[in-house]
Structure 1
């Protein structure tokens, strides 16, 4: 488990992280979201002891990072896929990491195989594509078989097959009971990967909840209905107190759930051809909830948010 308590980081007059508290529990993938400049990378660096907080604390399994005797056995991380020495082979890089934390040498080949790099293990890391470098970074994170894993933008440079692989891989790690904390700007992928979300803006916590709760809180629930008897259905719904809007050859019904609409149609002898609850997207919810936390705005940003907001309503 990761526990951040009143975490604050200042660089001169700039407050990068401001009184931030959250927890990341084991057994699930937790997404870490926020606009550019929100403080995500600074927070992850403080978790890993790469930056010291100005005040507050963050603990991994009850200990601060510097208190861990062999840290790679407790927490693995991928923050920068290209930090590897370019003249080292993938195997040499991982062997060096293993020796630094007294990890058995056999783990090197195990993690290379796990991420699909066995065939290029002897090649210079400097010649790797970004996608291959991401896989090598993930191998390094897994090297100590840690209970806690942090990934910053892990799908960068991966093709669709690679993105699907990392999604399933993270789910498997969580299913094994590990703590998995993932920062990403690819919201459509986070919607499929993360079951829990920590959302920050301007260094402060905006929300911590399940992904479903986050989306539901930011978008109006509605039901798309098609019927050959729309005028009769519209009138019945109006009497019931529902809000009805025309959408192409259908209606969009708010303030009434799908089961009530079905019961109302049956009671009035109205045939239905479609009864589809509409779900807002994570992207719509994110844009709506973090709108006031974006550091830099343009007219195009405002227009995009208005379009997404209207699509969610």
Structure 2
């Protein structure tokens, strides 16, 4: 388990993380979400002892990272895929990491096989694509067979097959009883991958819940209704205060549970061809809940008018 207690980080006048407390449960994939500039990377760096908190503490299995004797055996992390000497081979890079934590050299070939890099193990890492670098970074995170894994944007550069692989892989790690904490901007993928969510904005905790609870709390659930007898059902829905929106082939009903709609249909002799809950998406929930916490807003018209030719706007 990971536990952050009143975690705070200040850079001069900039408060990057503000009294942040949350827990990451064992046996779950927990997504770490927030707008650009929310403090996600700073928080993960403090977890790994790369930045010292201004206040508060974060522990992994009850210990600070600096207190771990062989950290790679307890915590595996991927924060920066390109963090590797470009002239080292993938095998040499992992062998150096293994030796530093007294990990068996056999484990190097095992993790190379797990991430699908065995055939390029002796090639220079500097020639790897971003997707291959991501796989090498994941191999490094797995090297010590750790109980806790931290991934920052692990699907960057991966093709659809690779994204599906890392999704199933993270879920399998959680099923094995490991703690998996993953930050990503790809919300559609997080909706499929993460069981729990920690959502922050401007360095503060916005929400900690299951993914399902987060979406349900932030979006209006509706029920799709198709029936050849809408003329009988519609007045009954109006009488109970439902919000009804006609569609091409039926109705979208909000404010009334599907069970109640079914009862009304039976009472009014309305045959139902479809009665299907329509849950909002994680993207919709995220935009609604974090809207006031976005630090960097893009004004496309202003950017195109004011940005000098050949220069890209900086948004993070």
Shorter-chain TM-score bucket reads over 0.9
**CA shift digits 1:134-193 (9 cap, x unpaired):** 000000000000000000000000000000000000000000000000000000000000
1:21 aligns with 2:31: no
The residue number in structure 2 matching 1:131 is 131
The residue number in structure 1 matching 2:293 is 293
SS at match of 2:7: strand
Distance 1:175 1:247 in 2: 41
The residue number in structure 2 matching 1:170 is 170
Return the offset for 1:300: 6.2
The residue number in structure 1 matching 2:307 is none
The residue number in structure 1 matching 2:91 is 91
Distance 2:61 2:147 in 1: 9
The residue number in structure 2 matching 1:308 is none
Aligned 8 A contact 2:37 2:296 in 1:
no
Q: Which runs of 5+ in 1 are unaligned?
A: 302-313
Distance 2:281 2:167 in 1: 18
The residue number in structure 2 matching 1:306 is none
The residue number in structure 1 matching 2:57 is 57
The residue number in structure 2 matching 1:273 is 273
Stretch of structure 1 that moved more, 140-149 or 291-300? 291-300
The residue number in structure 2 matching 1:182 is 182
The residue number in structure 2 matching 1:233 is 233
SS at match of 2:104: coil
SS at match of 1:4: strand
1:195 aligns with 2:188: no
1:103 aligns with 2:103: yes
The residue number in structure 1 matching 2:153 is 153
Aligned 8 A contact 2:188 2:282 in 1:
yes
Stretch of structure 1 that moved more, 107-116 or 236-245? 236-245
Stretch of structure 1 that moved more, 265-274 or 103-112? 265-274
The residue number in structure 2 matching 1:37 is 37
SS at match of 1:290: helix
**CA shift digits 1:63-121 (9 cap, x unpaired):** 10111110000000000000100000000000000000000111000100111111111
Return the offset for 1:298: 3.9
Distance 2:127 2:299 in 1: 41
SS at match of 1:260: helix
The residue number in structure 2 matching 1:243 is 243
**Matches of residues 77-88 of structure 1 in structure 2 within 5 Å?**
77-88=77-88
**CA shift digits 1:257-298 (9 cap, x unpaired):** 112211211221111122111110000000000000001224
TM-score, normalised via structure 1 length: 0.94
SS at match of 1:99: helix
**CA shift digits 1:214-261 (9 cap, x unpaired):** 000001111111111212110111123322121223111111111221
Distance 1:192 1:300 in 2: 31
SS at match of 2:216: helix
Stretch of structure 1 that moved more, 226-235 or 67-76? 226-235
Distance 1:11 1:290 in 2: 23
